[in-house]
Each structure stands twice: as structure tokens, then as C-alpha cells.
């Protein structure tokens, strides 16, 4: 995320979480604007969260519209 911010001229305030669960809760509760990590696809499919980018070498079959 730091490299993306530097490249795009955006500043991020890091808020580390001990695991994915608390990060998901913070995102769903609108305590943070975005998170990076492995999250439940159920929230994406339900429209509660939006997938912006995947940190993978290959495109995800289940999310073909998402950049990698």
C-alpha cells in the first residue's frame, strides 16, 4: 500500500489489525475507509464491500473485472 500511495500521490494512515476479523468489522462499521488483506467473499457478493484490486500475479476467475 505504501508503494501504491507513493506512485499515485496518496497518503495512507496505517492502522494494523491483529487478524482479518477485526479489520472486516472496522470496514463494515465504517471506522476505516479501506483495508488490505484476505477477506470473506460473502461481503463482496452481498455488496457490503467492494473489491478494488487483487495482489496476485494472475487474474481471479471469480472476480474477472478486478485489476491485479
Q: Which three cell numbers stand for residue 40?
A: 470473506
pLDDT digits (tens, 9 = 90+) for 2-59: 888 899 999 988 888 998 889 999 999 999 998 888 778 898 889 898 888 888 888 8
Question: What range does the domain containing 39 cover?
Answer: 1-68
| Count helices and strands in the chain by DSSP H and E runs | 3, 0
Distance (Å, whole) CA 6 – CA 52: 18
In this prediction, residue 22 carries a pLDDT of 93
Classify residue 25 by its DSSP letter: H
- Nearest by Cα to 35 from 25, 45, 43, 23: 23
Distance (Å, whole) CA 32 – CA 22: 11
Q: How many domains, in total, are found in the chain? A: 1
Amino acid at each position: 500500500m505504501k508503494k501504491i500511495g507513493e506512485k499515485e500521490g496518496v497518503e495512507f494512515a496505517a492502522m494494523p489489525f491483529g487478524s482479518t476479523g477485526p479489520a472486516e468489522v472496522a470496514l463494515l462499521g465504517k471506522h476505516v475507509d479501506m483495508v488490505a488483506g484476505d477477506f470473506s467473499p460473502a461481503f463482496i457478493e452481498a455488496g457490503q464491500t467492494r473489491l478494488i484490486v487483487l495482489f496476485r500475479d494472475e487474474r481471479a476467475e471469480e472476480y474477472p473485472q478486478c485489476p491485479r
